[in-house]
Structure 1
Amino acid sequence: MKKLFGKFALVALFLSVIHVLPATGQGREDMAKYTSDFRFRDGIYVNFDQVKTNRPIPKAKILTSVDYNDKDFFRELLKSDKIYFYDNMGIRQEVAKNDIWGYARNGVLYIQVQGNYNRITFVGSISHFVADIMTYDPRYSGYPYGYGYYDPYYYSPYYYSPYSYYGNYYSPYGSYYSPYSRNMARSEIKQFIVDFDTGKVLDFDMENTELLLMKDAQLYEEYVRLPRKKKKELMFVYIRKFNEKNPLYLPVN
């Protein structure tokens, strides 16, 4: 019985060790715990896998007329619609500017959102950044009061009126139809978080914070028991707690 118990204990220990090792197949001896001193390799990151392995396309492999020593190298490079480079086999490749994940400059990561590149200011297992994005509001009409005027009667195909012929069913004209209606675009500062396990970029809100905290049962239980107001106030605090308990490991430079 003791031998059987010992075998189970060894199996449990083995599984726990496997669980904490990075999913990339690299041992911890090849990985470094992320700190503020860590520097990502400078270059273009085509996808998130390159970020996790810290292996971008370096400047030396990029085909461009931009001076490699230009302090604004990446800004100038990304004015082109396509990036040309040599892969590891020495074969020329190309990628559309809007398809790349981002780049690193002076060891700092910049992620692309809507064609703009935003510095990731807080790096960890759950990372955080701020981006200036364009949003569109269909409630604004260009007629008859001019572009940008709020139209309270904007077209909505699911508008409900008890006096309507269509009732609460789909109406091709809604409650008010104007052929002049158009969306209003405006710039908005938004916060995002990045799940460094999957590379998913999510809105920084209570629901997504709760979703990512599920990976740590103790913190998740603490967070979900908070009143809604406290949840909103302490989102970033719990992300910090999560990163402290579940540090990010990256390949050694």
Structure 2
Amino acid sequence: MMRSIVLCQVLAIGLGAFGQMDTIWVPYGPGFEFREGIYRSFGEFRLNAPSARLEELTDRQGLRIDPRGDDAWHLPDSLGRPTPVPDRTVWGFCSNNVVYLNTATGFHRICMMGALSHLLYTQVIRDWDPSFYGTGMRTYTMEAQGMLAMASGAFLPFSAAGMDQALADDPELLAEFRALGKRARNEPGTLFAFLRRYNQRHDLLFPRY
């Protein structure tokens, strides 16, 4: 709990306008409502303060689009003209109380929200195959699992190596995890068990406005 409070204080101070002493932080849980809109940074998400409304999102002609689609994003400039939004400038967005994270292959929803969150996303794999026509490079996509560490904003693989990083700020859990055999540490059941235990020990806090 103390680590969560310190993180929220740092976020609030770092983003100035929200760094008021009377800010009340509440744990994420059933019934919590995210503000709908576009997050340009991890900090905006952690403060539940999107900087643009989804209603402002359009295509190049100014027609509204679904943020989950393939259309290039545009937001109005100071004169109301649709202006391209580079993918790298968007952290994610919230629609219908579901948060979507920007990854290398598009936006993917956070399935399990907590101090250590879990999501499924599409990963691009490039393999060298001498039998493949042309360059021998074969490219395909596959579903992968990832974790978002709310203490740092780090996007980690759902693996033994990723969990080892995620548990770095909880020495007790980390020691238990490292005491397991290599095979056990890589089992999905083990990874989910430690993810749940971490979330039980660490609240995910958001400001209440």
1:180-220 deviation digits (Å, cap 9, x = unpaired):
43310111111111111221111111011012112111111
CA RMSD of aligned residues (A): 2.9
Q: Which residue of 2 aligns with 1:166?
A: none
Between the two proteins, the alignment pairs up a number of residues equal to 194
**In structure 2, distance between residues paired with 1:96 and 1:38:** 30
Q: Which residue of 1 aligns with 2:11?
A: 24
For the residue of structure 2 that corresponds to 1:24, the secondary structure is: helix
1:46-92 deviation digits (Å, cap 9, x = unpaired):
2211111111111355466334xxxx73235x502x422458xx999
Counterpart contact for 2:5–2:205, Cα < 8 Å: no
1:119-152 deviation digits (Å, cap 9, x = unpaired):
100111111101122211023443xxxx3xxxxx
TM-score by length of 2: 0.79
Q: Which residue of 2 aligns with 1:41?
A: 35
For the residue of structure 1 that corresponds to 2:186, the secondary structure is: helix
**In structure 2, distance between residues paired with 1:36 and 1:86:** 37
Query: CA shift at 1:117, angstroms?
Result: 1.5
Q: Residue 46 of structure 2 aligns to which amino acid in structure 1?
A: K
For the residue of structure 1 that corresponds to 2:111, the secondary structure is: coil
Q: Residue 123 of structure 2 aligns to which amino acid in structure 1?
A: I
Q: Residue 74 of structure 2 aligns to which amino acid in structure 1?
A: I
Q: Which residue of 2 aligns with 1:244?
A: 200
Unaligned runs of 5+ in 1: 1-15, 148-179
**In structure 2, distance between residues paired with 1:122 and 1:59:** 23
For the residue of structure 2 that corresponds to 1:221, the secondary structure is: helix
**In structure 2, distance between residues paired with 1:134 and 1:214:** 28
Q: Which residue of 2 aligns with 1:184?
A: 138
**In structure 1, distance between residues paired with 2:4 and 2:174:** 19
Q: Which residue of 2 aligns with 1:52?
A: 46
**In structure 1, distance between residues paired with 2:155 and 2:4:** 24
User: Is 1:66 matched with 2:63?
Assistant: yes
For the residue of structure 2 that corresponds to 1:104, the secondary structure is: strand
Q: How does 1:1-253 map to 2 (within 5 A)?
A: 20-21=5-6, 22=8, 23-25=10-12, 30-56=24-50, 57-62=52-57, 65-67=62-64, 73-76=66-69, 79-80=71-72, 82-85=73-76, 95-142=85-132, 147=133, 180-233=134-187, 234-252=190-208
For the residue of structure 1 that corresponds to 2:30, the secondary structure is: coil
Q: Which residue of 2 aligns with 1:150?
A: none
TM-score by length of 1: 0.66
More strand by share: 2
Unaligned runs of 5+ in 2: 13-18
